[in-house]
Amino acid sequence: MAQQIRRNGTTGVRRAAKAQSRSLTARRAQGRASRFLDWLMGLLPFTEDQWSRIWLAMIIGGAVGIAFVIASLAGVPALAEAQVARIAADAGFEVRNVRVTGTSRMDEQQVYARALAQRNQAMPDVDIAALRAELRALPWVEDARVSIQLPHTLAIDIVERTPHAVLEKADRLVLIDAGGVELEPISADKTKGMLHLSGPGAAKQARNLEQLIAAAPALGPQVEAAEWVGNRRWNLTFRTGQLLALPEGEVEAATALVKFARLDGQNRLLGGKVLAFDMRSPPRLYMRLPEGVREGPAIAANAGGGE
């Protein structure tokens, strides 16, 4: 009887030792797994607070997905969308902040006025495409990128148009970009040094004018104004006050302007006595002098004729 008791006691000790060994092994494995996860998460560019938000978003996203599937299976997709929005709003996933970047010249309040209409809406209810289209309709906005940043921020990045010239209208001056898009009215005292365009349809020809002037880069800084005449050709006015009438046609106008730049480099036409240069009948160059000046410039013969 005593011998049987000793065997049972020995067996109990062995079982306890094995259980303790298994528990120790499990704790060690758990510790190694925990350290591995900590190391892995440390490699990713997220703070502890950001990780908490990510896990929360995943949990809520799962709940929202389940609710949507259940409602969809019940044959009520509209109810599913409403349920998703309600769950998201209850969890704090609604528009509370609006962040705007990329604006430097335009009035930023125009962007906020449209974005804040989304405030307090559940994130799933925000129509990003419609908001982007509304922002792109603003004169200064060439493009707009709209994104949702959980849990409650609406991020808007604006790509502004670049002012190119001043369009002279009958009653006001308007700032335009290279494509002729009207940006906003501008006062005369703020247009110093800017290219002025005039004439019906001049705004639509702004990009073509830019390419024309680029053909003679030495003259570019000297051009102060350009008039689009008869919807077919340009008159250029230089900072000296002198006028150059160019012929019709893109190639013809560019050829004439390059020729004028060469003649100016050889004879210093700009800043001289001539009031206007007429190159509408290539290859001839006609020059108009002030009244009382009878002697014509020597350049007339070199240009292929003049008067």
Structure-model confidence comparison of residues 172 and 53, the more confident one: 172
Q: CA 279, 282, 283 angle in degrees (round to 5)?
A: 110
Q: Is 32 helix (H, G, I), strand (E, B) or coil?
A: helix
Confidence (pLDDT) at 301: 41
Class of domain 163-302: alpha beta
Q: What is the pTM of this model?
A: 0.66
Specify the 3-state DSSP secondary structure of 72.
Answer: helix
Distances (CA, A) of 45 to 8, 40, 48, 50, 150: 57, 11, 10, 9, 17
Query: Is the pLDDT at 87 greater than 70, yes or no?
Result: no
Give the SS3 label for residue 37.
Answer: helix
Q: Is 240 exposed, middle or buried (0-12, 13-18, 19+ CB in 10 A)?
A: middle
Residue 56 CB partners (closer than 8 Å, separation 6+): 91, 151
Phi/psi of residue 268, nearest 5 degrees? 55, 60
The tens digit of pLDDT for each residue in 29-81 reads 665 655 665 655 565 555 555 555 565 566 666 665 665 566 566 655 554 45
Q: pLDDT > 70: what percent of the chain?
A: 64
- Which whole-number Å values give the CA distances from 76 to 85, 131, 214, in the listed order? 15, 27, 62
Report whether 141 contacts 135 (CB < 8 A): yes
CATH of domain 92-160: 3.10.20.310
CB 100 within 8 A of CB 108: yes
Under the banding of pLDDT at 50, 70 and 90, the label for residue 153 is: confident
Give the pLDDT band (50/70/90) at residue 266: very high
At what angle are helices 206-214 and 250-267 packed, to 10 degrees? Answer: 40
At a CB cut-off of 8 Å and minimum separation 6, what does 163 contact? 105, 175, 176, 177, 183, 194
Ranges 125-129, 194-198, 216-220: which has the least confidence: 125-129
Reading across the β-sheet that carries 141-149, which strands appear in turn? 97-101, 153-160, 141-149
Domain locations in the chain as residue ranges? 45-91, 92-160, 163-302
Nearest CA-CA partner of 115 in 143, 159, 157: 157
77-90 vs 48-73: helix crossing angle, rounded to 10 = 160
pLDDT attached to residue 151: 75
Type of residue numbered 48: E
Q: How many CB atoms lie within 10 A of CB 264?
A: 21
Pairing of strands 223-229, 196-198: parallel
The runs of H, that is alpha helices, within the chain are: 2-43, 48-73, 77-90, 109-115, 128-136, 206-214, 250-267, 299-302
Long-range contacts of 57-60 (CB under 8 A, 24+ apart): 57/150, 57/151, 60/87, 60/88, 60/91, 60/93
